[in-house]
Every structure is written in structure tokens, then in C-alpha cells.
């Protein structure tokens, strides 16, 4: 506890007098902030605040593990402010704008207006990034920071493909999942299981962002509804054996459950759970013919509540029992 308070005190002391509201962000000398200096130890949190600014800026920092951190920043409306935020090169920086609006100016001097429901991703370089709040603006955002040496080869390849130049900024639409996460990340729970959950949430956000960046790069992007259907089916296949709810699926996909079910039905002619049943039966039929495992084991692996449930659904779909299907012999390769 003392160490935590000391880290929090250092953050406040180091920033005092170097950042604060300014009357005209366009003409003022910007403050300089280096967030990486204030990251706490693994599994710990700290808070950066600006004394004398009446709560104009407050940042909670959490280090989840080697090379992975999150921050939640809140900026109150005031007379305006500008900061130069400098991260070490080689970081993947993703900011999800939860509420309000702000502007960022990249290393080439290009300004990007970021509004509620939007976000931006940056492959950090040697230059600082200007963060600007104009008079009367307020803003809160969630930031995920990953160090390049800590990412997987697959993610490193994505970064180089979608953000080939350091200092390059790209914008995206905000995943609804991001709106629910600040409270989850900063709930005070630092158990190994909780940190693992939070790390998984970070990776989910990163994956959703890169999916959208890939879509942006296509010359003929798929309609938004088609993309939602594809992502839904991929999620259903990935969580085939789990007991799923529409609310959980919608939260993961970043839409409301009404939008999810309505869109899916319009595009496919069936509900999400009708499609889930078909996917489970398709997978079960393949396992029954290819493997000699018991029907009980296959039923549970494919998400059926019992072997009887599998048998009933199988007969209704294929016009025969699962055992009769198995007797036809293995499916040729």
C-alpha cells in the first residue's frame, strides 16, 4: 500500500506545473507527458492527477503483465488544453473514446477529430503526439498499450501491414465492448484469474480493431450486416461447447442483442440460435462418422445438453439416428 501511494505521489509531483488548462490550445506551449514513466508494477494500478486543475485530468493506469497496460483517462470541460504525449517507439497504442470528443495531431502535423463512439490506433515512433481539448470539450477514453517485443508474431505482422509507418494514425468505430471495460479493468481485483480475464479482454479489443482495419483496406468492403454475420458465425464455432446467451454474444460482438438477432435473421433467414444448432449438428455429424468416441462424449463436446438431445436433433435434421449415420462408415478423406 505504501509503495502504491508513493507511485501515485510521484506521478502527481512529476506532472505538477508541466500540464494544465490553457486558454488557446492552438497557440499555447503544450505540456509534455510521458505515461510510460508512471506505469506501476505488474498487476498494480496507480492514478495520475493534476494538482490545482480541479479534476481537469485524471488517469488510472494498470499494468496487466509484461508489455501490456491499460489506462482510463477523464478530462473535464474547461478552457481547453493541449498535451504532447510521448511514448517510446515500438508501442501499439489503441484509444477507445468512451464519451465526449477530442483531437489528436500526429507527428506529421495532421489533425484527427475523434468523437464519441470512435477510436484511433497508433504505431508509436520517436515523435510526440498532440492531444487537444478545445474550450468546452470534455472527454473520457480507454487506452490499451502493447510493447512490440511482447506481441506474438501474428500480431506483429498485422501491425506492420496495417500501420507500416511509425507515427501513423488510423481511426475506427468504437466496439461496444469497450464501453463496459473501464469499470472491469479498474475493479481493484488483482488476483491471477482476474488479471488473466482482463488480459483476454484487451486481446479481444485488439482483435476487433484489426478486423475493422482489414475491412477498411479492402477495395470493396463487405456490407456491415454481412460482416456481423461472419463474425457471429466465427464466434459460435469458437464457443461451440459453451452455454451461450444472446446478451453475451452481443456484448462480445459490440452490438445490442436486438440488433444482432434482427440483422442475423434478415441476412440468413434464421435466428442466431437456429444457426448455432445447425453448426453443432454439422460438427457432430462429422465427428460421429470420423471418430469412434461415444455419442455421449460427442454430444457434450458439440454443446448438446445430453445424448438424447443430440439424437432428437440429429433425427429431425438428417432423417436418421446418429447410430445409423455412424454405421455408414467413415467419411472418405
Note the pLDDT of residue 17: 29
Note the pLDDT of residue 210: 85
Rounded CA-CA distance 115/256 in Å is: 20
pLDDT bin (cut points 50, 70, 90) of residue 218 is low
Note the pLDDT of residue 27: 34
pLDDT bin (cut points 50, 70, 90) of residue 103 is confident
Mean pLDDT score, 12-25: 31
Mean pLDDT score, 157-164: 85
What pLDDT digit, counting tens, does each position of 251-296 carry?
888 887 878 888 888 888 888 999 999 899 988 888 888 888 898 9
Note the pLDDT of residue 134: 81
Largest CA distance in the chain: 80
**Helix, strand or coil for residue 143?**
strand
Domains, the chain, ordered by start: 2-216 (2.60.120.10), 222-333 (1.10.10.60)
Note the pLDDT of residue 221: 44
What pLDDT digit, counting tens, does each position of 117-156 carry?
778 888 888 777 888 888 878 888 889 998 877 778 888 8
Note the pLDDT of residue 124: 85
Note the pLDDT of residue 331: 55
Mean pLDDT score, 228-253: 88
What pLDDT digit, counting tens, does each position of 68-97 carry?
999 988 888 777 778 888 888 888 888 888
Closest to 155 in 3D by CA, of 94, 87, 221: 94
236 pLDDT higher than 90: yes
Name the more confident of 305 and 4.
305
Closest to 75 in 3D by CA, of 94, 108, 103, 45: 103
Rounded CA-CA distance 75/67 in Å is: 26
pLDDT bin (cut points 50, 70, 90) of residue 176 is low
pLDDT bin (cut points 50, 70, 90) of residue 193 is very high
Note the pLDDT of residue 298: 92
Strands 111-114 and 139-147: unpaired
Minimum mean pLDDT among 3-17, 100-114, 226-240, 305-319: which range? Answer: 3-17
Minimum mean pLDDT among 63-72, 94-103, 208-217: which range? Answer: 208-217
Q: Decide: residue 217, CB within 10 A, 0-12 exposed, 13-18 middle, 19+ buried.
A: exposed
pLDDT bin (cut points 50, 70, 90) of residue 330 is low
Note the pLDDT of residue 39: 84
Minimum mean pLDDT among 25-34, 131-140, 230-239: which range? Answer: 25-34
Sheet containing 129-133: give its strands across: 31-33, 81-85, 129-133, 102-105, 111-114
Q: Is 254 left (phi over 0), alpha (psi -120 to 50) or beta?
A: left
**Helix, strand or coil for residue 297?**
helix
pTM above 0.75, yes or no: no
Q: What angle do CA 282, 270, 227 make, to 5 degrees?
A: 85
Note the pLDDT of residue 128: 79
Indicate the average pLDDT of the chain.
78
Question: Is the separation of the CB atoms in 302 and 241 below 8 Å?
Answer: yes
Share of the chain above pLDDT 90, in %: 8
Beta-bridged to residue 140, according to DSSP, are 74, 99
SS (H, E, C) 152-176: CHHHHHHHHHHCCCCCCEEEEECCH
Mean pLDDT score, 197-213: 85
19 pLDDT higher than 60: no
Amino acid at each position: 500500500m505504501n509503495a502504491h501511494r508513493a507511485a501515485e505521489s510521484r506521478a502527481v509531483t512529476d506532472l505538477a506545473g508541466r500540464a494544465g488548462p490553457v486558454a488557446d490550445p492552438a497557440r499555447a506551449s503544450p505540456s509534455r507527458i510521458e505515461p510510460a514513466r508512471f506505469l506501476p508494477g505488474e498487476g498494480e494500478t496507480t492514478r495520475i492527477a493534476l494538482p490545482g486543475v480541479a479534476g481537469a485530468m485524471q488517469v488510472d493506469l494498470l499494468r496487466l503483465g509484461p508489455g501490456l497496460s491499460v489506462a482510463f483517462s477523464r478530462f473535464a470541460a474547461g478552457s481547453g488544453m493541449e498535451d504532447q504525449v510521448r511514448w517510446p517507439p515500438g508501442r501499439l497504442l489503441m484509444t477507445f473514446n468512451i464519451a465526449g470528443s477530442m483531437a489528436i495531431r500526429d507527428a506529421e502535423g495532421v489533425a484527427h477529430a475523434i468523437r464519441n463512439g470512435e477510436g484511433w490506433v497508433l504505431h508509436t515512433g520517436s515523435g510526440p503526439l498532440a492531444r487537444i481539448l478545445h474550450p468546452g470539450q470534455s472527454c473520457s477514453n480507454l487506452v490499451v498499450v502493447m510493447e512490440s517485443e511482447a506481441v506474438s508474431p501474428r500480431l506483429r505482422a498485422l501491425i506492420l501491414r496495417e500501420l507500416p509507418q511509425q507515427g501513423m494514425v488510423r481511426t475506427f468505430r468504437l466496439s461496444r465492448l469497450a464501453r463496459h471495460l473501464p469499470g472491469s479493468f479498474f475493479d481493484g481485483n488483482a488476483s491471477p484469474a482476474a488479471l488473466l480475464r482482463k488480459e483476454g479482454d484487451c486481446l479481444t479489443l485488439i482483435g476487433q480493431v484489426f478486423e475493422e482495419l482489414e475491412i477498411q483496406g479492402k477495395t470493396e468492403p463487405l456490407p456491415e450486416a454481412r460482416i456481423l454475420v461472419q463474425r457471429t458465425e466465427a464466434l459460435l464455432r469458437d464457443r461451440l461447447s459453451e452455454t451461450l446467451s444472446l446478451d453475451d454474444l452481443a456484448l462480445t460482438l459490440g452490438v445490442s442483442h436486438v440488433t444482432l438477432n434482427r440483422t442475423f435473421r434478415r441476412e440468413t433467414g434464421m435466428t442466431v440460435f437456429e444457426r448455432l444448432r445447425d453448426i453443432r449438428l454439422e460438427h457432430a455429424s462429422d465427428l460421429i462418422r470420423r471418430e469412434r468416441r461415444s455419442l455421449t462424449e460427442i454430444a457434450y463436446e458439440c454443446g448438446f445438453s445430453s445424448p438424447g438431445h443430440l439424437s432428437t436433433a440429429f433425427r429431425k435434421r438428417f432423417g436418421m439416428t446418429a447410430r445409423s449415420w455412424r454405421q455408414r462408415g467413415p467419411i472418405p478423406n
